[in-house]
Amino acid sequence: MATSLEVRGLTVELPTPGGWVRPVNEVSFTLGEGETLGIVGESGSGKTMLSLALMGLEPHGARHAGEAWLSLRGAGNGDGGKNGGARNAARANLLTISQNEMRALRGREIAMIFQEPMTALNPVLRIGAQVEEAIRVHEPRAAESEIQRRALQALQRAALSDPARRARQYPHQLSGGLRQRVMIAMALAAGPGVLIADEPTTALDVTVQKQILELLAKLRRELQLSMLFITHDLGVVAQVAGRIAVMYAGRIVEEGPVAEVLRAPRHPYTEGLLRAAPRLTREKLVPIPGTVPSLDALPPGCAFAPRCPHRVAECDAAAPELRAVNKNHEARCILVR
Amino acid sequence: MPGEILLEARALSKSYSVSTGAFTQSARRALAVDGVSFALERGETLGIVGESGCGKTTLARMLMRLIEPDSGEILFRGEDWLGARGAKLRSLRRRMQMVFQDPIASLNPRLRVGSIVGEPLAIHEPQLSGEERVARTAEILEAVGLGRDAVTRYPHEFSGGQRQRIGIARALILRPELVIADEPVSALDVSVGAQILELLARLQREFSLTLMLISHSLPVVAQLASRVAVLQTGRIVEIGAAEQVLGAPQHPYTQALLAAVPEIPE
Ligand SMILES: Nc1ncnc2c1ncn2[C@@H]1O[C@H](COP(=O)(O)OP(=O)(O)OP(=O)(O)O)[C@@H](O)[C@H]1O
Ligand SMILES: Nc1ncnc2c1ncn2[C@@H]1O[C@H](COP(=O)(O)OP(=O)(O)OP(=O)(O)O)[C@@H](O)[C@H]1O
Ligand code: SF4
Ligand SMILES: [Mg+2]
Ligand SMILES: [Mg+2]
């Protein structure tokens, strides 16, 4: 499987009155072409910050380190950036390219959809005009009629009924589910190869969520999309992703095939999340004691140690490395031998 | 063994006016709750589920008498709750309390936690001495898993789950018979949500509470409810024992809701 996105040692730091904090800490993963990687983790674990860093949209004052190589669809197979430099015909390092280069890639090679579509849509512009704009930025010389045709096609692809009528409506005239379809249409309008979906269904009812998940699965197949799918819902990740990465306090603590990780988790945090998740059959929920540590007061060793039932002295000595469970599955815990 | 009926709703309805377009003056009324009837037995947990906008919060607010129904009746402890006035109203009101969805918005940020939680005592049990009030406040804070030292701190010093505990402590301090919890965990992470659900289950046993648990999430309701009512566009389309409604749903809408729940593989 060809690689779409390869992230190595991505760290994001933000300035706070008490000093720098690290919402994203040494994150590495590989996203294969046509693959969906689910990223799960509780509020504040760094999921959105990771996505924003990849999109070149971090908050003002942020600094970062590491590499994030995006394979460019528009290009043939070059040397894969191995000669150094921020960009060549085949790959671009999203963390080091210039703002202008990033703007050219955003939408065309990598795109993102957000949890709350209302904040990402312009409330005073008609839907059609917004989708057209997403195309126009990348094809300033295309004829207006061509752009309009492609915008309607994009809305149709997102399974909006009667796209011509929808194009004339304003965002507030649409339900949450329809707005999310518009966001998907916009994100995919310029034909990107990688889509980051940040909690795209969290604000929706389950029946609407089901439709959106089915739509994304269909588009992924048809367009050979590679997806980073961010959620805090383990059921959703089981449905959409092939692989899963679990984040805790800015780090990936477990990664592997989704079915294997959910059936046989190897990190106590993943295990805790599974036992705390309510299911349709009533079983005693086992809450994870305590709360997520604050980024300015992380424990010296394993960040999960204060909440971990298996903690021993070794856990507090140093932050554990990711250890291989097997060749596809790793966990950041000393219990993996 | 049919138990004592604590609360009974009879044909409750509530409509709101909705404007039909930005440029028209005309308004029509839309039914948010449409002829809802059910009875709540003492000691049971009734789960109310349904999608956004189906009328769950409107129903809860009517039961609490925070809004007036357009029509219908509510009997609480066998008495006409909607018609209660004066001393009767006060004595009934303290027996029914609500826990709100948003733990941040529902707590006054300028008050210390001790005042927030103890305030209902000052209103409903003014005969208590200052010392007694402090003791009751500390006792209930401990029951919900917050230390006694919480009394001197402000809401913003607590996490979302801890704030929800403060809301629960405030609801329980008067030792109510009925607690209506409207989406008590939907703003919380699973690990914290599980703590709150376990807390509600424990407090229900300890204080012999009758609980109405409102949630859009079937798995959440499944954890605590002994009976489940499914609300669709303001109407109860199915109500029955939890195992029955969740295990062998009869109404197509309940079936669709269940089929849409993304399940974690076993
Ligand atoms: N502008 C900022 N300045 C300082 N810290 C920030 C800023 N934005 C976010 N953070 C912190 O960075 C951490 C990661 O936040 P992030 O939004 O990535 O979490 P998340 O995993 O997406 O959570 P959620 O599930 O709530 O969306 C959090 O601790 C958050 O408080
Ligand atoms: N104050 C109000 N004025 C006008 N309409 C209202 C008002 N409150 C609620 N509604 C409408 O009544 C219907 C029911 O709303 P309600 O808040 O009871 O639903 P809900 O089931 O609690 O939804 P959610 O799951 O989103 O909390 C909705 O269509 C809503 O838009
Ligand atoms: S390293 Fe130690 S504290 Fe951390 S998760 Fe593993 S056992 Fe628990
Ligand atoms: Mg986020
Ligand atoms: Mg509500």
The residue in chain A having the minimum alpha-carbon distance to the alpha carbon of residue B197 is A285
Same domain for A230 and A293, yes or no, is no
pLDDT of A77 above 50? no
CA distance, residue B243 to nearest chain A CA (Å) = 9
Query: Rounded to an integer, what distance in angstroms lies between the CA atom of residue B129 and that of residue B139?
Result: 15
Other CB atoms closer than 10 Å to residue A123's CB: what's the count? 9
Is B58 touching ligand 2 by the criterion CB < 6 Å? yes
Same domain for A212 and A298, yes or no, is no
Cβ-defined contact of A274 to B264 (cutoff 8 Å) = yes
Average pLDDT over chain A, rounded to an integer: 92
Query: Are A76 and A89 a contacting pair, CB within 8 Å?
Result: yes
Same domain for A185 and A308, yes or no, is no
The residue in chain B having the minimum alpha-carbon distance to the alpha carbon of residue A42 is B189
Predicted pLDDT of residue A116? 76
**Over the stretch A224-265, which tens digit does the pLDDT of each residue have?**
999 999 999 999 999 999 999 999 999 999 999 999 999 999
Same domain for A83 and A155, yes or no, is yes
Residue at B1 is within a domain: no
pLDDT of B23 above 90? no
Full residue range of the structural domain in which residue B130 is found = 103-175
Predicted pLDDT of residue B102? 76
Average pLDDT over chain B, rounded to an integer: 91
Residue at B216 is within a domain: no
pLDDT of B97 above 50? yes
A239 neighbourhood in chain B, CB within 8 Å: 262
Distances (CA, A) of B158 to B154, B164, B183: 8, 9, 19
- Provide the domain count of chain A: 2
Same domain for A217 and A275, yes or no, is no
Question: Which sign, positive or negative, has the C-alpha torsion A218, A223, A224, A226?
Answer: negative
Cβ-defined contact of B191 to A276 (cutoff 8 Å) = yes
> If you take atom 18 of ligand 1, which residue's CA is the nearest one?
A46
Full residue range of the structural domain in which residue A155 is found = 3-241
Same domain for A108 and A230, yes or no, is yes
Same domain for A212 and A112, yes or no, is yes
Same domain for A159 and A226, yes or no, is yes
Q: Which of B198, B216, B259 lies at the smallest CB-CB distance from A285?
A: B198
B54 neighbourhood in chain A, CB within 8 Å: none
Rounded to two decimals, the ipTM of the complex is 0.87
Predicted pLDDT of residue A82? 46
Query: Rounded to an integer, what distance in angstroms lies between the CA atom of residue A166 and that of residue A178?
Result: 9
Residue at A247 is within a domain: no
pLDDT of B231 above 60? yes
Q: DSSP E strands: which ranges in B42-190?
A: 45-49, 71-76, 79-80, 96-99, 178-182
Residues of B engaging A, defined by a Cβ cutoff of 8 Å? 51-52, 159-162, 189-195, 197-198, 216-220, 222-223, 242, 246, 256-266
**Over the stretch B188-212, which tens digit does the pLDDT of each residue have?**
888 888 999 999 999 899 989 999 9
Sheet architecture: strand order including B71-76: B27-41, B5-19, B71-76, B79-80
B194 neighbourhood in chain A, CB within 8 Å: 276-278, 285-288
Q: How confident is the model at residue A93 (pLDDT cuts 50, 70, 90)?
A: very high
Ligand 3 site, CB within 6 A? A 268, 302, 304-305, 308, 310-311, 315, 320, 333-335
Residue at A252 is within a domain: no
Average pLDDT over residues B233-244: 97
Q: Which of A42, A273, A280 lies at the smallest CB-CB distance from B218?
A: A280
The residue in chain B having the minimum alpha-carbon distance to the alpha carbon of residue A201 is B262
> If you take atom 17 of ligand 1, which residue's CA is the nearest one?
A48
Predicted pLDDT of residue A79? 41
Cβ-defined contact of B220 to A281 (cutoff 8 Å) = no
- Name the packing angle between helices B113-124 and B130-143 (round to 10°): 120
| Ligand approaching nearest to the C-alpha of B235 | 2
Q: The CATH number of the domain where A19 resides is what?
A: 3.40.50.300
| Model-wide pTM > 0.90 | yes
CA A10 to chain CA centroid, nearest Å: 14
pLDDT of A88 above 70? no
Alpha carbon of A325 to ligand 3 centroid (Å)? 15
Same domain for A13 and A83, yes or no, is yes
Alpha carbon of A238 to ligand 1 centroid (Å)? 24
Alpha carbon of B100 to ligand 2 centroid (Å)? 15
Predicted pLDDT of residue A78? 40
Query: Rounded to an integer, what distance in angstroms lies between the CA atom of residue B53 and that of residue A315?
Result: 47
- Provide the domain count of chain B: 1
**Over the stretch B130-182, which tens digit does the pLDDT of each residue have?**
999 999 999 899 888 887 788 999 998 888 888 889 999 999 999 999 999 99
Residue at A191 is within a domain: yes
**Over the stretch A171-230, which tens digit does the pLDDT of each residue have?**
999 988 999 999 999 999 999 999 999 999 988 999 999 999 999 999 999 999 999 999
Query: Are A273 and A234 a contacting pair, CB within 8 Å?
Result: yes
Q: Of the candidates B219, B155, B228, B215, which has an alpha carbon nearest to the alpha carbon of residue B187? A: B215
Same domain for A88 and A212, yes or no, is yes
